[in-house]
Structure 1
Amino acid sequence: MLDTAALSTLLNQPQKIVITTHHKPDGDAMGSSLGLYNYLIQLGHHAKVVAPTDYPEFLWWMPGNEEVIIYTEQTEAATQLIAEASIIFCLDFNNLSRINQMGELVRQSSAVKVMIDHHLEPEDFDDYRYWNINACATAQLVYTFIVEELQRPDLINADVATALYTGIMTDSASFRLPNTTSAVHRIVADLIDAGAVNWRIHELVYSNAPENRLRFLGYCLSNKLEILREYNTALISVTNEELKRYESHTGDTEGIVNYALSITGIRLAAFIVERTDMVKLSLRSTGEFPANEICKKYFNGGGHRNAAGGMSTLSLQQTVEKFKQILPEYKTLLIQ
């Protein structure tokens, strides 16, 4: 493992740097990646963000987004960038399977691999690890990496601050989750002072939806919401055909599970959606209920205690039934 001093020495000279994050990137994935990108280009590095797949349109406004390379759309260019990189930053994931086909390219690369992440159980593929499971967002860790590890608070400019604010805001559910500590609020205050326009960022992320997305949300809440009162659990399941009917795009299902969790008395919420190649699950919980345990144990996934995800090769209906059959095992925790 490299230490901070050795990494700092490397970064003192211009490098070819690739920054990548998990497939179907969310606000923290792109916020942390573009925050780091906007920091590195100030130092004269040749840096590029390479995303494994596309990501929601409501994140396209962030500074530096026009420079992002999407692997599935620009495979040759992305492959060349990875092959030529001297440093690869891996943000908001800790297992190379999370970047799909890019995983083996990164594994085989001779570049120094730097992981900055806050998820459990990291895979041992990195040369330098900046990892804290108690952080509310990877964007929070990118901030402390720049300010505390690299000692460059002077380079937190408006572009860096805007991207990092977006990452922290989205992964903390707008600063509502338990790991949104006083330290996080102090970081956010610094980002606002550096030029992040907080009200505008909220508007661009949360008040920037196409009509079909709102109609789809209404359909889910009116027709697909199922309440399992015996287990204080709410469930929404959606077929691929229903996604097509509402012309759903990447990011359109994001956050729907939170509406189910917002119901009085609900401790566990699930959003289960049929995709082209598999069924995906998003779980959210309150208090000490271990949503990540269910995803890890039964659905080839994981995540945080109150926010986790998984997948299933069963049909949508079979996956829903499997989820329901698991609930009696957790009844004591759910009805506390």
Structure 2
Amino acid sequence: MVKYFSDSPQELADFQSDFKNARKVVITSHQNPDGDAFGSGLGLYAYLKTLHFDSVAFISPTDYADFLGWMPGVSDVVVYESDQKEYAEKLMAEADLFFCLDFSAAARIKDMKDSLLASPAKKIVIDHHEQPEDFADYIFWNEKASSTCELVYQFIDKIGDVEQINQESAICLYTGLLTDTGSFKYEATSPEVHRIAGLLLAKGVVPNQIHRSLFDNNTLDRLKFLGYILNKKLVYLPEFRVCYIKLSQKELQKFNSKTGDTEGIVNYGLSMAGVVMSAIFIEKDGLIKISFRSVDDFSVSDFSREHFEGGGHKNAAGGRSKQSLEETVEKFLNLLPYYKNQLLLQPK
């Protein structure tokens, strides 16, 4: 399903009027931001900063991981869950335009939700997750898109302003393309993705620098943590073609785990031949946070939405549980027999 407000002449005209007359803009993305959330947010931020607005602000609902700390504009990010909360509330209350990037449900911005919905600003959702909520004035949404960064580029293109994308913006947008396509290997890596990537390279992006900044800056603690997980915590269930990992709060503390240190670990399960679904269960802040990954036609988005208060994409989804870590994993294991036929039917 695709919904681009720019495809409606009336909606596009209304947006262009709002865009032209706006003075103050706020951008936000989902809590615990990943490369696409920050890439799209900071990419749009760098672009909008070149225009006529009196102020442009990027508010992150929560703190961000160290591996994103190198990105252009990151020092300007206002973190809501910090001593900047009062300032963030002021920005939202005074905004004329409010861009909501890389989330389709208002709950994905955690404690900022009420302030978002109460803001008098015109709200624009740019996103590629399934089943978007109806809280925005303008929607630029495509669940088949590789990333929100792809959509931000297309959005700027649709309003005829691609030439205004500068090097800083291009670096951020390329980052989201890279991370959300798994370095251009996932199914959503279309000819359009490579076309946009090429155009961003022409803006001054240096691919190997971005790749090293994202993937080659591990701490010794994180590498030891990863070794521990792969050696001691990865469980393979060949009868279901499933891998899973469970991590307790005590284990996170033992390896001095910081925000972002568990990012991407769930993908290691899928690197095993024949595995269809991989899951990771992490005990943190009184909840069990869950990530699911899959291949081919097995929808972890449906699985997570049905059983773990989650959702996302067909092959990449998140969820959560208020039960204990052991109870949550037991629930997961008890569900697998009901999905056995679907899991075993996937191509090898």
- Which range, TM-score by smaller chain? over 0.9
- In structure 1, what is the equivalent of residue 134 of structure 2? 124
Counterpart code for 1:317: E
Does structure 1 retain, via aligned residues, the 8 Å contact 2:22–2:97? Answer: no
Tell me whether 1:44 sits opposite 2:52 in the alignment.
Answer: yes
Once the two structures are TM-superposed, the CA of residue 317 in structure 1 deviates from its matched residue by 0.6
Q: What is the TM-score normalised by the length of structure 1?
A: 0.98
State the alpha-carbon separation in 2 of the partners of residues 251 and 207 from structure 1. Answer: 14
Residues 1:142 and 2:152 aligned together:
yes
Aligned to 1:280: 289
Once the two structures are superposed, what CA deviation does each residue of 1:174-231 show, in whole Å capped at 9, x if it has no partner?
Answer: 1111111011101101011111111100000000111111111111000001110100
Q: SS of 1:281's equivalent?
A: strand
Alpha-carbon distance in 1 for matches of 2:199, 2:21: 28
> Alpha-carbon deviation of 1:10?
2.5
Q: What amino acid maps onto 1:264 in structure 2?
A: A
Correspondence 1:15 to 2:5: no
**2:74 — aligned with what?**
65
Query: Does residue 244 in structure 1 map to residue 253 in structure 2?
Result: yes
For 1:109, the equivalent position in structure 2 comes to 119
Counterpart position of 2:103:
93
Cα distance in 1 for partners of 2:205, 2:18 equals 29
Report the Cα distance in structure 1 between the residues aligned to 2:185 and 2:51, rounded to whole angstroms: 35
Separation of aligned partners in 1, 2:286 and 2:149: 30
The question of 1:290 aligning with 2:299 is answered yes
For the residues of structure 2 that align with 1:43 and 1:9, how far apart are their CA atoms?
A: 15
Aligned to 1:84: 94
Q: Which 4+ runs in 1 deviate beyond 2 A?
A: 9-14
User: For 1:67 and 1:276, how far apart are their aligned partners in 2?
Assistant: 27
Offset at 1:16? 0.5
DSSP 3-state at the match of 2:50: helix
Counterpart Cα distance in 2 of 1:323 and 1:55: 29
**1:6 corresponds to which residue?**
14
2-structure distance, mates of 1:63, 1:276: 30
Q: Specify the alignment match of 2:40 in structure 1.
A: 32
Q: Could you tell me which amino acid in structure 2 is paired with residue 137 of structure 1?
A: S
Structure 2 Cα separation of the partners of residues 251 and 268 of structure 1: 22
- Cα offset for 1:293? 1.1
1:214 aligns with 223
Q: Paired residue for 2:317? A: 308
Q: Compute the RMSD of aligned alpha carbons.
A: 1.1
1:325 maps onto 2:334 in alignment: yes
Letter in 1 for 2:25: I
- 1:231-270 alignment runs, 5 A limit: 231-270=240-279
Helix, strand or coil at the partner of 1:42: coil
2:194 paired with 1:185: yes
Q: Residue 14 of structure 1 contacts residue 43 of structure 1 at CA under 8 Å; is this kept in 2?
A: no
Amino acid in structure 2 at the alignment position of 1:202 = H
Write the distance in 1 (CA, Å) between the matches of 2:322 and 2:22: 45
Structure 1 counterpart SS, 2:204 = coil
CA distance in 2, matches of 1:212, 1:89: 36
Tell me the CA shift for residue 260 of structure 1: 1.0
Corresponding residue to 1:156 among 161, 165, 168? 165
Contact 2:291 2:318 in 1 (8 A): yes
Report Cα offsets for 1:76-95 as digits up to 9, x if no partner: 11111101111100000011
User: Within 2, Cα distance between the matches of 1:10 and 1:39?
Assistant: 17
Alignment gaps of 5+ in structure 2: none
The one-letter code sitting in structure 1 at the alignment partner of 2:140 is Y
**d(CA) in 2 for partners of 1:278, 1:113:** 30
TM-score by length of 2: 0.95
3-state SS of paired residue (1:256): coil
How far has the Cα of 1:332 moved from its partner? 1.0
Alpha-carbon separation, structure 2, partners of 1:173 and 1:98: 22
- SS class of match (1:196): coil
The alpha carbon displacement at 1:14 in A equals: 5.3
- Structure 1 spans left out of the alignment, 5+ residues: none
Q: CA deviation at 1:13?
A: 4.1
Q: Deviations over 1:218-265 (max 9, x none)?
A: 110000011101000001110000000111111000000111110111
